[in-house]
Structure 1
């Protein structure tokens, strides 16, 4: 009789529960969507009870397909860099402030003043930023002191689900490395940063490995989810670190890219990679003792989506009539444009930019438009612009380690044209696995299997993941992109002052 591992991937727009058999097969998946409350320009909150309803609902739906006694363990991948304040009874005290929230700008400057930005980067592997958890907790202390006083522990998204299932207040190293409070070198909460933040140290949860069994499902949680009481709960990790396992980036030197709404390139290494300009950052991996250097751009796949919604209305309509994806038609048209899109450059900064620019004022642009420019040139330039920007991230890493090839996941990896463009611009072969959008849940499921001893180690990912395609760089294309890339970089730097002026309008 088959046995199963249940993984929940708690994202920004919903939770996806995925059931895997222990022999590496995806058996079933269920999705529960939820909303985000955006307000005050740059504030973003979610109701933690909504996450719990999503987990309970999708678990019950999964259990319609299998016997709950055959579920060996449950684990989680979760959105990172949030802040959930809970009391001693495990009740959340206010809505969760999620990763997208940027309100804690004053608190960020306080940390920079107290610690220094370079020293902070060397301790945590990250810049100080309103995006991170400790700055959000500082904001709560400064603006909602009654909530801060009642807070027993600050948790991350997945940690709150683990609390609801087991009654335990814990987090793992990967999620902790996204709080801006973890010393990445010692894997302990940084006393210097906690002191500078003026936060009570005991409000931070206990740190444990991603593969640790936190406890068993309580009687109350079993009633609400349908799981068998006592089912082991393995904590899992932050979504980016779980995705690394799901992309088979588990050994020092491995690299992967993700083309989702936001897009990133990440490595697996033994020690943090500190960029001299702090363009990239570092997370703790869910694989023990490894680090995941990463650079994340805001609108990679989102640029592709914007292109579809604003400039490809004919393709959207025609695709609906034909019963195919509009991106198939978009790619077909983009293929008609030559390498370099007839000299058209797209800057993919539709929501400002994180890595590599760290410029909230950055804007998108098409540079090089002329009377003979065609729609196919515009379409191709978007794919190339995203790849150029990702290449800037990749170049930060190439200074420190050799990169032989890259696995690419995410919805954007479906298109062969975009994978060829990436191969040509990055200068490395691009591999496409059989699963493109299951990496985070797959990583969490494997953490569960390792945690309960079903799998010896994370190398079992090779039973789950198979490479379906490998695209090599084309030398003549590389030559064109090598000439264009410095122009792409100059386009951005030339517009920095213009971006700042536009921000005042």
Structure 2
């Protein structure tokens, strides 16, 4: 009978429960899908009950597969931002408006114009966007004047899962940074900011802030019966999903940096204080280690670009698609792809809700392989630009589903001239959560020790000097053509809307 630690990653469209041995091997895993409900005015919502049931079902499957293994702790991470609210009886007050919610877009413009956006930036280090919780709270309060007073607890996705497992209400520093936390002092929520935003009524609803590697409670008898977890084992506080990979990599010191490529991108570095930040469009999270912050950019130019082009060109298998892309050679025959395909536009390293995808440099001699490779290169160039903005030097440590592509790792290395080191094992989020759970359970003395226990194999990609010149030119065209096209993006978006309206009329 071996000891295992469980990591739960409550993502946007799927939740994952993964069991790891204490030397980092994945023993078993279970996944469950979670629906997102979209509205006509930009709403994107999820049921808190649906998320808990998906997590509970996944854990029940996982524990059933573990046999006599001894589970010693559970670690948590989950999607960030949005409004996750309980009423005074600790029941969901409403469906969660999640990070993709866009209903408050015009409110963001108003906050930027009247100075409230700058106040949020100055205090929390966060550039406002429609799904930031203070913005959503004002949106809901305008619809229902008594709404703020009805809130019992304001926290986030992984906090809700922990509450269902332990019955305890708390959050961590990374999640607290998304509302009213003062990242300059690192000492707690800023009452003056809440007052200035007209949201002082929610301050009593903010739960206790605990260290991410602390225990946030123990599995209750009720949760044990539902999930198969042993009652009484600790559940770590955890972190927001964009930050959790760091502990799994042992990244806790100032200067440590890493990249993730998933549905969105992530390029981040730990800094001694918010005063050291490199971009006003970055996001900043307190880590709970003094004044240390994690500064990161999260471009929207992630794997949906690759999913879309693969499906469009009819490749059922990723290996076949990547082999086809390789056949086009570096530079994609002069074709450059701007990877701004997200309906929400772009948020890093520039902010433009009208950002749109385009191909340039095509001719009647352009091949499908060149079109395909250009998408790989465009996604990579977006990451390169963000890494340059944040001045990330040395090796580029990467993780996440998109980086399973050797080609993207190679393009990243060739374009930057920096070595790329990839953590090969899947489920990086769950691994980071499990790393923190080892500390919470006492199985490891600190995060560094826990990361050493959970270390996994890695692959290294050296820059190819033969590709340096062609990628320098391609990257230059990528940026200059993007900047030249930006004035046309609003009209492109308008045309898209007009065309969609005609399609609706034809139904």
TM-score, normalised with respect to structure 1: 0.91
Q: Kindly indicate whether residue 171 of structure 2 is the aligned counterpart of residue 182 of structure 1.
A: no
Equivalence for 2:458: 468
- The two structures, once aligned, show a CA RMSD in angstroms of 2.1
**What are the equivalent positions in structure 2 for 1:58-457 lying under 5 Å apart?**
58-66=58-66, 70-113=70-113, 115-177=115-177, 179-187=178-186, 188-199=188-199, 200=201, 201-272=203-274, 278-285=280-287, 290-310=292-312, 312-313=313-314, 315-316=315-316, 326-351=317-342, 352-398=345-391, 403-435=393-425, 437-457=426-446
Alignment check: 8 A CA contact 1:213 1:451 kept: yes
Q: Which runs of 5+ in 2 are unaligned?
A: 496-507
Distance 1:48 1:337, change over 3 A: same
1:72, distance to aligned residue in structure 2 (A)? 1.7
Question: Equivalent residue of 2:44, what SS?
Answer: strand
Deviations 1:338-373 (A, max 9, x none): 321122110000111111121111100001111221
Distance in 1 (alpha carbons) for counterparts of 2:424 and 2:376? 22
1:109, distance to aligned residue in structure 2 (A)? 4.1
Alignment check: 8 A CA contact 1:282 1:291 kept: yes
Deviations 1:35-88 (A, max 9, x none): 000112421000000111112111211221336892222221010002122122
Equivalence for 1:494: 484
Question: Equivalent residue of 1:55, what SS?
Answer: helix
Distance in 1 (alpha carbons) for counterparts of 2:483 and 2:357? 13
1:283, distance to aligned residue in structure 2 (A)? 2.0
Distance in 2 (alpha carbons) for counterparts of 1:261 and 1:55? 20
1:218, distance to aligned residue in structure 2 (A)? 2.4
Alignment check: 8 A CA contact 1:17 1:30 kept: yes
Alignment check: 8 A CA contact 1:111 1:197 kept: no
Q: Which runs of 5+ in 1 are unaligned?
A: 317-325
Equivalence for 1:321: none
Distance in 1 (alpha carbons) for counterparts of 2:15 and 2:36? 13
Equivalence for 1:479: 469
Aligned length: 489
1:114, distance to aligned residue in structure 2 (A)? 5.3
1:147, distance to aligned residue in structure 2 (A)? 3.9
1:229, distance to aligned residue in structure 2 (A)? 2.6
With 58-67 and 40-49 compared, the bigger mean Cα shift is at 58-67
Alignment check: 8 A CA contact 2:235 2:440 kept: no
Question: Equivalent residue of 2:472, what SS?
Answer: helix
TM-score, normalised with respect to structure 2: 0.91
Deviations 1:219-247 (A, max 9, x none): 32223223333222211111111122234
Distance in 2 (alpha carbons) for counterparts of 1:8 and 1:341? 39
Question: Equivalent residue of 1:448, what SS?
Answer: helix
Distance in 2 (alpha carbons) for counterparts of 1:432 and 1:222? 36
Equivalence for 1:320: none
Distance in 2 (alpha carbons) for counterparts of 1:471 and 1:273? 33
Alignment check: 8 A CA contact 2:2 2:69 kept: no
Equivalence for 1:24: 24
Distance in 2 (alpha carbons) for counterparts of 1:263 and 1:60? 31
Deviations 1:386-425 (A, max 9, x none): 1111111111111xxx511012222222222221111011
Distance in 2 (alpha carbons) for counterparts of 1:229 and 1:27? 21
Distance in 2 (alpha carbons) for counterparts of 1:184 and 1:6? 30
